[in-house]
Amino acid sequence: MNHQIIVKNYPVGWLQESNFEYRQVPIAKPGESEVLIENRFLSLDPYMRGRLSGSKSYAPSAELGQVMVGSCTGVVIESRSNKFRPGDTVLNTLGWQTHGICKDTELKAIDTSEIPEHAYLGVLGMPGVTAWTGLIDICEAKRGETVVVDAASGAVGSVVGQLALARGCHVIGIAGSVEKCNYVVEELGFNACINHQAPDFKDQIKNILPKGIDCLFENVGGEIFETLLLLMNPFSRIALCGLVSEYNVNPYGNRCLRSILINRIKFQGFIVTDKLETWPAIIKELKQAYLQGHLKYKLSQVDGIENAPKALIDLLKGNNFGKQVVKLS
Amino acid sequence: MNHQIIVKNYPVGWLQESNFEYRQVPIAKPGESEVLIENRFLSLDPYMRGRLSGSKSYAPSAELGQVMVGSCTGVVIESRSNKFRPGDTVLNTLGWQTHGICKDTELKAIDTSEIPEHAYLGVLGMPGVTAWTGLIDICEAKRGETVVVDAASGAVGSVVGQLALARGCHVIGIAGSVEKCNYVVEELGFNACINHQAPDFKDQIKNILPKGIDCLFENVGGEIFETLLLLMNPFSRIALCGLVSEYNVNPYGNRCLRSILINRIKFQGFIVTDKLETWPAIIKELKQAYLQGHLKYKLSQVDGIENAPKALIDLLKGNNFGKQVVKLS
């Protein structure tokens, strides 16, 4: 049987497990130029919250009654395509299900000889390309500049910091616990990391940034972003990648936009899928960095597709630690 | 005697006439390479509110007990420079005073044979260059795009709209009265102008923009800006020139930053004096447009330096109509 999680209804406020429904359906048979895949890993990412809404965004909503959207890695178990053979490991967008049929044009073969499969959902996948695009393309980070990234221990933030360090930047992370901050500094090599849960967070972040911020990679929004806005330098840049603190609650009212004016900040939103043509070269660079040991990451894994809804909610609450995946088989 | 307005103290909240003080001092004598000027026009501009504060900004504060800062046009009445002769009309930064001494390197001669003197404080001066820089350099407005500008009848907004029209853009203004809106459409040729004082402003602006906004030239901030943010198109641009609605009150809490993310907006603050090297070519273009009748403007004039404080307060409240100057002699 194919085990699926479908979208039952859209949340109002916080996402709930009850917004999803588990079901089993028979495994289908591939048609011509199609393959049948058994998925091993499902990627969970903050963008998924944006799909669970009827309102207009940059991508269509996940459809009610349909399998929840997402990227997976898995193995081909039956093929009617001359491009793939049983046993091939592939990246696909089958979403939250253990099995599925794909056209052979909707798949990408991945090489797992030197690289673990789940890396293609993280450092060498969409989150890694997101980090690169925001830091290099939008922020134009240069040697000697100070880079700040929040959600620093996460799939995107951890890559942002490591890429910035490799470019000779001074890198400060922000994360949601002492444990995460320790990991970011000790394992990933960030120059410092501040716990935004600390009661004196605002003082701490100000004190650690005597020379201000040149590049801000923004994942979180809310009061954290407002605090950081006041620490931006003249002619600094902000890559707006996410506002995860605001996805499940009423949006925060940001009172510090004057900083954008007086500091002549470039503040730019971006979506990594807008420039698919840039991906191959970026992934090549990321792969090289990974193989040289300069792109570490931490895997946060839950087992079984029935646990995916709770794991996504935990991710949105910041309760996970590292790149979140669901092990499917 | 030289009649001056000095900065008595910095306002808390709304600027008051009592923050200024009038005084008379003897007219000084020019030293070597200096000239004595009698000013005719003082320019009033929203940026002045930012100078009346002890807090950090892009430019130093106006000093307590000193003449309030500002740009003027006037006539040389005594010269000890070989670059200027009595009778020359000059642009200067003597500030809020009827007379003053300038080094000959701090002056610019202006040609009033075809152009009224006060144009050099408006369409052919700092406000005109500001309009050009935000629209062309930051917003990169292209033929066929929709451009929105608020404070549309003001010194900057009126130039933004006329430059955009000349480039083949569809131009919508926002202004603070029916009279201003009529002027913007009938005299300046904007495609439409919406009165932000109207109770159904949000509906009106939405209805007039069925194809959304490609370029927003933002002068006002507050709830107007928040409303416009939700109407921005994918890959649109915002030039942040001012936040005049927020200068005298607690800053507005903007809850719509998610639009910057999902629409991949470039939102950039700028200060026109950052790129002084671009001014001569821009002013040349503006002068040509003016002489061809494509850069109209309305002068809002008060008489006498003692009325400058009230006139600046009126400007910040939107009670003026057009380019605000004070006639000094």
Q: Each residue of A6-46: pLDDT tens digit?
A: 999 999 999 999 999 999 999 999 999 999 999 999 999 99
Pick from B255, B263, B270: which is nearest to A253 by CB? B255
Residue B186's pLDDT band (boundaries 50, 70, 90)? very high
How far is the CA of B279 from the CAs of B133, B164, B285, B288, in angstroms? 9, 18, 10, 14
- Three-class DSSP category at B166: helix
Query: Is residue A57's pLDDT more than 90?
Result: no
pLDDT at A146: 98
Pick from A221, A242, A266: which is nearest to B268 by CB? A266
Q: How far is A289 from chain B (nearest CA, A)?
A: 28
DSSP state of B46: T
Q: What angle do CA A194, A197, A202 make, to 5 degrees?
A: 60
**A93-122 mean pLDDT:** 96
Which segments of chain B does DSSP mark as H helices, in order?
47-51, 126-132, 157-166, 178-186, 201-207, 222-229, 258-262, 279-291, 308-317
Residue % of chain B over a pLDDT of 70: 100
pLDDT at A300: 96
Query: Is residue A82's pLDDT more than 90?
Result: yes
Question: What is the separation, in whole angstroms, between the first and last Cα of chain A?
Answer: 13
pLDDT at B258: 96
Question: What chain A residue is nearest to B245 in terms of C-alpha separation?
Answer: A258
Mutation target to probe the A interface, by most A beta carbons within 10 A, among B47, B225, B262 is B262
Which segments of B176-278 does DSSP mark as H helices, in order?
178-186, 201-207, 222-229, 258-262
pLDDT at A58: 85
pLDDT at A274: 95
Helices A157-166 and A279-291 sit at what angle, rounded to 10 degrees?
A: 80
Instruction: State whether A268 and B257 contact (CB < 8 Å).
Output: no
- Residue B143: how many other CB atoms lie within 10 Å: 8
Question: What chain B residue is nearest to A250 in terms of C-alpha separation?
Answer: B255
The CATH fold assigned to B2-122+297-327 is Quinone Oxidoreductase; Chain A, domain 1 (3.90.180)
Q: How far is A149 from chain B (nearest CA, A)?
A: 16
Query: Is residue B113's pLDDT more than 90?
Result: yes
Query: Is residue B315's pLDDT more than 90?
Result: yes
Contacts of A229 in chain B (CB under 8 A): none
Instruction: State whether A250 and B252 contact (CB < 8 Å).
Output: no
- Those residues whose C-beta lies under 8 Å from the C-beta of residue B172, and which sit 6 or more positions away, are B146, B147, B148, B149, B190, B191, B192, B193, B194, B205, B208, B209
Structure tokens at A228: 């950081």
Question: What chain A residue is nearest to B262 in terms of C-alpha separation?
Answer: A58
Instruction: State whether B266 and A261 contact (CB < 8 Å).
Output: no
> Cα separation of A216 and A226, whole Å?
12
DSSP state of A93: -
pTM of the model: 0.96
Q: How far is A2 from chain B (nearest CA, A)?
A: 33
pLDDT at B56: 79
| Average pLDDT of every residue of chain A | 97
pLDDT tens string B147-181: 999 999 999 999 999 999 999 999 999 999 999 99
Q: How far is B266 from chain A (nearest CA, A)?
A: 4
Is the separation of the CB atoms in A296 and A26 below 8 Å? no
Pick from A255, A261, A266: which is nearest to B252 by CB? A255
Q: What angle do CA A270, A276, A281 make, to 5 degrees?
A: 105
> Cα separation of A169 and A179, whole Å?
24
Q: How far is A246 from chain B (nearest CA, A)?
A: 9
Query: Is residue A54's pLDDT more than 90?
Result: no
Query: Is residue A55's pLDDT more than 90?
Result: no
pLDDT at A56: 80
| Locus of tokens 């300046």 | B188
> Cα separation of A276 and A286, whole Å?
15
Is the separation of the CB atoms in A235 and A262 below 8 Å? no
pLDDT tens string A170-190: 999 999 999 999 999 999 999
Query: Is residue B58's pLDDT more than 90?
Result: no
Query: Is residue B57's pLDDT more than 90?
Result: no
pLDDT at A208: 98
Q: How far is B72 from chain A (nearest CA, A)?
A: 24
Which segments of A53-152 does DSSP mark as H helices, in order?
126-132
| Average pLDDT of every residue of chain B | 97
Question: Domain boundaries in chain B?
Answer: 2-122+297-327, 126-273
Instruction: State whether B257 and A274 contact (CB < 8 Å).
Output: no
**B305-315 mean pLDDT:** 98
- Decide yes or no: CATH 3.40.190.10 for domain A126-273: no
**B237-266 mean pLDDT:** 97
Contacts of B253 in chain A (CB under 8 A): 252-255
- Three-class DSSP category at B67: strand
Show which residues on chain B lie within 8 Å of chain A, measured between beta carbons.
Answer: 50, 56-58, 221, 225, 234, 240-243, 246, 250-258, 260-271, 274
pLDDT tens string A274-329: 999 999 999 999 999 999 999 999 999 999 999 999 999 999 999 999 999 999 98
Query: Is residue A209's pLDDT more than 90?
Result: yes
